[in-house]
Amino acid sequence: MIQLIRGGSMKRDLLIFQGAMILFVAAMLTLAGNYIYKKEMLRSRMGYITELQRQLAHSFEVKIQSVDDTLQILSETSEIKNCLYTKDKETKIYREQAVRDIFDSYEKIHGDYLNMILVYGDGEDYISNDMYRPVHESFYGEDWFLQAIQEGSAYRFDSGIRNLQSWKHYDSDSYISIARAVQEGDRTLGVLMVDVSVGEFKEAYQNLEADTENFFFLMDDGGEIILSPVNRIVYRVDPKWFRGDEGVVVSSIGDKNYKFVFNRFRDKKLLIVGAYDVEEESKIPLRMTRISIFMAGVCFVAAMIWSVCYLLEITKPLTELSDLMQSASEGNLDVRFTGESKEDIRILGEAFNKMVEKLKTLMEMMKLEQKQKREAELLVMQEQIKPHFLYNTLDMIAWMARKHGAGDIVHLIETMSEFFRISLSKGREMIPLKEELKMIQAYLEIQSMRYQDLFSYEIFCSPDIRDELVLRMCLQPLVENCLYHGIKESDNPHAKIMISAESIRGGMRIQIRDNGCEMDGTIMEQLNSCLNANDWENWKGGFGVKNVGRRLWHSFAKGSGLHYSKDENGYTVATLLILKEDE
């Protein structure tokens, strides 16, 4: 952003113009929005809350009426009437169970029915599926029973003190009790009562509180609080404040002023009240102002971003070219600039393409030179097969000829011939793995004849990789190290060299093990460090391992190489990992 402002005059003027326009529009919208909100939004909010209260009161009244209608239907059922008229004890037991069954059925249908009870026989007898009477007294002393008999129906919103307990042990403020008389003409046969959960109404109150950021409570015509949140305000409300069917009252409680919006329902016997902190309500316009300022800032930032993006679109080709240069600097010389742009940037892109092409040609020449260097090193290593090895072998041939006859001489000569044939391989750098292992077998056979009883060897190769190509002479230097630096320098009477080749995902793994003299841990760590980094500047050791490591590094896929370790049996292990390039 700063660079754009410091740039040419057109860029600077465009940014200043865009910023001024957005600030002006945002200021006008903020002032107009606050004015409209103060005059209209508060009134709309009050109407919205009043309508919510009316709907909640209506749903509460509908619920009570629904339960009352259900009790009316239930009182007319044959199960209830038959039970009330039956005098025979055995028959009565059967019909009482039928009443309990119908109670269970209604509770399953109506999930908010907690308990149901039928009281009859002058208030002495009762039937319930989950209620019991702690004290054996007549229900005539209960308010709900008397009210149901006198008025035909009754409901209570507080637990009161009643001679009933439930095995479900629900809280006393979690239900309302609704009762209805069972009548035959003018005669009252008994009273049906159900405890109905008020959980859904509590949830509705809580949702209303969350929606309006205030609290609500329900009060009966006697001034008793029925449903309310737990706070220090609601129980200090004077019921005399609420006169009429609905209205708004502002009263002081403690050191704060509260606005109460109330509505009466249920034949004016119930009152729903919403309470609002006047001070908090006055903060709403201030909050609206802050939101407007914030939105103005967001709009300003968005406009600036849009302007910057528009200007940056002009420099997009330069950014693309910069990314290509970064990719080329990391070694990817296949990138080319193909973007469509103005002539000056196009000329720059063409120059970049020519530069990358020349760099790629130079890198290929360097790779060819490195390959030729490795081939030369291989030739040097082949020439380093010491002459005294051949001389000693010939001496042995003569000695064996004198002692054992021509058979051993023939075997030794054939073994040497096989070794030299494969080691030269007509100058090929890559040969099948089976030929490389055959050469190693010939080499070990010759050495075992020379150093009788000094060591034994084993060679194993998975059949599926026998024809895979490997570097020629990549194993012989490592096997020679095992013999001269491991086996010969140890006192192990059971010295052994084991060579194994197996297939792995993406390539093969070849391991050469010996249980001769163990390699020093510091030397092994230094050697692995050189092998992993292909950096031999500080290596003071022999040429063979260095040559094999370099050849593996440059000839196969990334991850290929040589690594030394020790296994759990004390063997020194040289592991060659040969991975193929992805096709």
Most distant CA pair in the chain: distance in Å? 142
Tell me what percent of the residues of the chain surpass a pLDDT of 90.
11
In this model, does residue 371 exceed pLDDT 90?
A: no
Task: Say if CB 424 and CB 382 are below 8 A apart.
Answer: yes
Task: Say if CB 237 and CB 278 are below 8 A apart.
Answer: no
Q: What pLDDT does residue 401 have?
A: 62
d(CA 379, CA 429): 10
In this model, does residue 500 exceed pLDDT 50?
A: yes
* Residue type, position 516, single letter: G
Q: What pLDDT does residue 437 have?
A: 93
Q: What pLDDT does residue 504 have?
A: 92
The pLDDT tens digits of the residues spanning 446-483 come to 888 888 888 999 999 999 999 999 998 889 899 999 99
d(CA 564, CA 520): 11
212: left (phi over 0), alpha (psi -120 to 50) or beta: alpha
Task: Say if CB 422 and CB 436 are below 8 A apart.
Answer: yes
| Per-range mean pLDDT, top range of 158-162, 181-185, 394-398, 540-544 | 181-185
Q: What pLDDT does residue 22 have?
A: 72
Query: Do 388-579 and 76-200 have the same topology in CATH?
Result: no
Q: What pLDDT does residue 56 have?
A: 76
Q: Model confidence at 571, in pLDDT bands (50, 70, 90)? A: very high
pLDDT, average across residues 233-238:
77
pLDDT, average across residues 365-392:
65
Q: What pLDDT does residue 258 have?
A: 81
- Which residue did the predictor score with more confidence, 557 or 234? 557
Task: Say if CB 571 and CB 579 are below 8 A apart.
Answer: no
In this model, does residue 295 exceed pLDDT 50?
A: yes
Q: What pLDDT does residue 469 have?
A: 92
pLDDT, average across residues 69-92:
82
Q: What pLDDT does residue 329 have?
A: 78
Q: Name the token pair of 206.
A: 């809580």
Q: What pLDDT does residue 417 have?
A: 61
- Which residue did the predictor score with more confidence, 141 or 391? 141
DSSP state of 332: -
pLDDT, average across residues 206-231:
69
Q: What pLDDT does residue 41 have?
A: 65
Which residue from 488, 484, 514, 487 is spatially nearest to 499, judged by alpha carbons? 514
Q: Model confidence at 4, in pLDDT bands (50, 70, 90)? A: very low
The long-range contacts involving 541-544, CB below 8 angstroms and separated by at least 24 positions, are: 542/481, 543/381, 543/384, 544/381, 544/477, 544/478, 544/480, 544/481
d(CA 63, CA 176): 11
Distance of CA 482 to the CA centre of its chain: 51
Q: What pLDDT does residue 38 have?
A: 65
Q: Model confidence at 2, in pLDDT bands (50, 70, 90)? A: very low
Which residue from 106, 107, 82, 104 is spatially nearest to 95, judged by alpha carbons? 82
Q: Model confidence at 259, in pLDDT bands (50, 70, 90)? A: confident
d(CA 267, CA 269): 5
DSSP string computed for 67-103: HHHHHHHHHTSHHHHHHHH---HHHHHHHHHHHHHHH
- Which residue did the predictor score with more confidence, 500 or 344? 500
Q: What is the CATH number of domain 388-579?
A: 3.30.565.10
In this model, does residue 509 exceed pLDDT 80?
A: yes
In this model, does residue 524 exceed pLDDT 60?
A: yes
Domain ranges of the chain: 76-200, 326-376, 388-579
> What is the chain's alpha carbon radius of gyration, rounded to the nearest angstrom?
50
The second-level CATH assignment, the architecture, of 76-200 is 2-Layer Sandwich (3.30)
| Per-range mean pLDDT, top range of 185-194, 290-299, 555-564 | 555-564
